[in-house]
A and B are shown apart, each in its own frame.
Chain A
Amino acid sequence: MSNIGYKPLYWLSVAFLTLFAIIWCLPLIFMVSLSFQSDENLIVSTAHFALGLLPWPFTPENYVSLLGFDETPRWFLNSFIVSVVSTLTVLVISASAGYAFARIDFAGRRFVFAFVLAGMMIPGEGVFISLYTMFADWQAHSTYFSLIAPNLSLPVGTILLTQFFRGISREIEEAAEIDGANRWVIFTRIMLPMSIPALTTLAIITFLWSWNSYLWPLVTAQEREMYTITVGLGSTQQGYTEENTGRIMAQGMIASFPVVFLYLFLQRYLIRGIVVQSK
């Protein structure tokens, strides 16, 4: 609502939003604070200073011990490998499929596209039991392959890039065609460089999705050393005791660091992706 004429109203809404933002951030502040206090202190009470919202007495020992000896670095590495490989592969296969849908007039285009669009209706929870039996037949559970492959099947990326490519003007391509460039050259030298913003959007969406996905990794990662950080954090929580509050909060912080970092730097692209999806 653009009430440009209402100056007092603007400050009123800033005041309300500030209050709301403080409440909204309390859980995160509490988490950061607990992660920097020692377990011995937290058994006694979590409210040593400012209800526990400020980390005093301060110590980084939880992070040091987690990153030193624990399974946490391995889980973090697993998540990192799975997310990076998923993201790069999704970018390649979605871009090439999106290019075909958007730019090539081929037999069966409408049908195949409708089929892919219909694939959006399948919920992940609708296939994980049969995926489990497939990977069991291949004896491929607890591998990077089983953690990555289902991330590649989602139609969202292809649909997103098809829409984006359709929006690019054809002029440059036509000029290149007259110069004798073939489809591969046009795709790699013209379309891809022009769609770096859209590719960044898809990259951050896919990375967040892979990093945060829980149900399928929980089913397929049966050996502890193949847990992703999300599954590992879940399993630590289920074995929760009040004796390791600080450590578990530090583990949560480590699990959140890459996604928060990416979000803060690339939020412009993420938001654009959300807006495109909603249209």
Chain B
Amino acid sequence: MKDSDAPSNATVLASVRRVCFSRRTIATVEAYLFLLPFLIAFGLFLVYPFIKNFWISLHDWDLLAVAFNPDAKEFVGMKNYVRTLWGRRMTWDITHLWHIKSVLAIGCLILWFATLRGSARLGTAVFWTVVAVTLVVVLGFHPGERGRWYDKEFWNAVRNTFVFVALAIPPIMVISLTLAVLLNRPTRTMAVFRTLFYLPQVLSVAVITLVWWYMLTPGQGLLANVMRLFDLTPFSWTTDPILAMWAIVIATVWWTIGFPMIVLLAGLQEIPKDRYEAARLDGAGPIALTWHITIPGLKRPLVFVFLYEVISHFQVFGQSHLLTGGGPGDATQTFVRYLYQTGFRDNELGRGAAMSVLLFLVMAIFSFLYLKFSTQRRTS
């Protein structure tokens, strides 16, 4: 009696076969076979190290000691983060770094104004206000009287990196946009110009620092040769903190305008030609056309280029490492170079890993916006 209720062997086998050999199951097995080589490389050399990095950051991990004895590392919890980010006798007040905070406040005001006028979404305004308020709170912390940061050099590197990004991105955006607008004609001459302006971008960082060393160096540089022609004394930029920062900015701008130029050029070619025709019939001149049709039509590529440039230039390493050696003093020390030195000069891998995590968190904000932005575009 029982047996008649239970499915017979044959039907069980048939349904097993149906599940196991259904088109979709076979397709799934095949798909993972196709994916396997990539997923191994992706998992082993990107995802796993990324996770292991968090683990290392929780240890006191001396490069040399651990190399001789794998048990020499010691679990210390959040100590590496505290030693990097915190200080002795810390206090909080609202006016600390007031110039950055006023910029944030003005930005929020503009955003809310735009929201009231209907040109920005409420969600966006709320999101950025939350971000700004968080930043204002965080930036209020600083060492009080007779206090100090545990790691002053770290904050110096952070500040230099922000200064570098802030100095490099505006010229990159302006020059690449200007070039893109001027190059946007289908002639052979323009193709030659485009090839030339992109060329520095394919060189490696070691080559561009070499080139710019010999452009700028007061002894043998091209700039010095020109200045001597006019009886001027060449700049000694390696000993001047501000000129040294400008040297790596100039080298970087020269090196990296190619990518944004190509992106903006492609964006320009997507703006429908009849918009220009219509505006021209209404009597618009070239400047009016640029301002009222070209720039608004380029909004998306401009946002893309901006985010891309922030992400890539925040990770600046080679220019500072090779052109100025971080100097004079620590005037051009950058985040990634300090991270590198903490790990491989001071052998403190735990603290270096903690800084990598911090770098990732900063980058994650921009990468998230970038991904959101590019997927938005792909689906629309």
Residues of A at the B interface (CB closer than 8 Å) are: 1-3, 5-6, 9-10, 13-14, 16-17, 20-21, 24-28, 30-31, 34, 42, 45-47, 51-53, 92-94, 96-97, 99-101, 104-109, 112, 116-134, 136, 149-150, 152-155, 158, 163, 183, 187, 208, 211-212, 214-215, 219, 230-231, 233-234, 237-238, 240, 242, 245, 248-249, 252, 255-256, 259-260, 262-264, 267, 271, 274-275, 278-279
Contacts and interface: CB of A to CB of B under 8 A. Distances in A.
A149 B47 contact: no
Contact of A125 (B195, B286, B356): B356
A210 to B, nearest CB: 11
Interface stretch (B33-41, B113-121, B126-134, B150-158): B33-41
A5 B317 contact: no
B81 interface: no
Given A93-B41, A256-B207, A259-B204, A215 B340 contact: yes
Task: Say whether chain B's binding surface is mostly helix, strand, loop, or mixed.
Answer: helix
B85 interface: no
Contact of B322 (A16, A108, A234): A234
A278 B261 CA distance: 12
B229 interface: yes
B329 interface: no
Contacts, number: 291
A233 B207 contact: yes
A96 B46 CA distance: 19
A212 B205 contact: yes
Contact of A2 (B184, B205, B352, B356): B184
Nearest to B196: A21
Interface string B203-216: 11111011111110
Contacts of B325: 238
A255 B290 CA distance: 41
A214 B183 contact: no
Contacts of B107: none
A129 B67 contact: no
A100 B35 contact: yes
B205 A230 contact: yes
B246 interface: no
B105 interface: no
Contact of B185 (A2, A121, A122, A212): A2
A150 B44 CA distance: 9
B376 to A, nearest CB: 11
B220 interface: yes
A83 B315 CA distance: 22
A274 B259 contact: yes
A127 B53 contact: yes
Interface in B333-355: 336, 339-340, 343-344, 349, 352-353
A149 B206 CA distance: 22
Given A119-B42, A260-B199, A263-B199, 17 more contacts: A1-B184, A28-B199, A46-B225, A96-B38, A104-B30, A119-B47, A120-B367, A126-B53, A126-B356, A127-B46, A130-B50, A152-B41, A215-B336, A219-B344, A230-B206, A267-B198, A274-B259
Contacts of A117: 371, 375
B349 A133 contact: yes
Interface stretch (B7-15, B91-99, B136-144, B262-270): B262-270
A122 B274 CA distance: 42
Contact of A126 (B207, B215, B359): B359
A125 B359 contact: yes
A228 to B, nearest CB: 9
B378 interface: yes
A237 B206 contact: yes
Contact of B349 (A129, A256, A271): A129
A214 to B, nearest CB: 5
Contact of B37 (A16, A31, A97, A104): A97
A105 B263 contact: no
A6 to B, nearest CB: 6
B2 interface: no
B363 A123 contact: yes
B167 interface: no
A215 to B, nearest CB: 6
Which of A27, A131, A136, A149 has the largest number of chain B CB atoms within 10 A? A27
B21 interface: no
A196 to B, nearest CB: 19
Contact of A53 (B32, B222, B322): B222
B182 A52 contact: no
A28 B197 CA distance: 12
A237 B209 contact: yes
Given A34-B214, A212-B204, A6 B263 contact: no
8 contacts: A24-B196, A24-B197, A112-B39, A122-B47, A133-B66, A149-B44, A234-B209, A248-B210
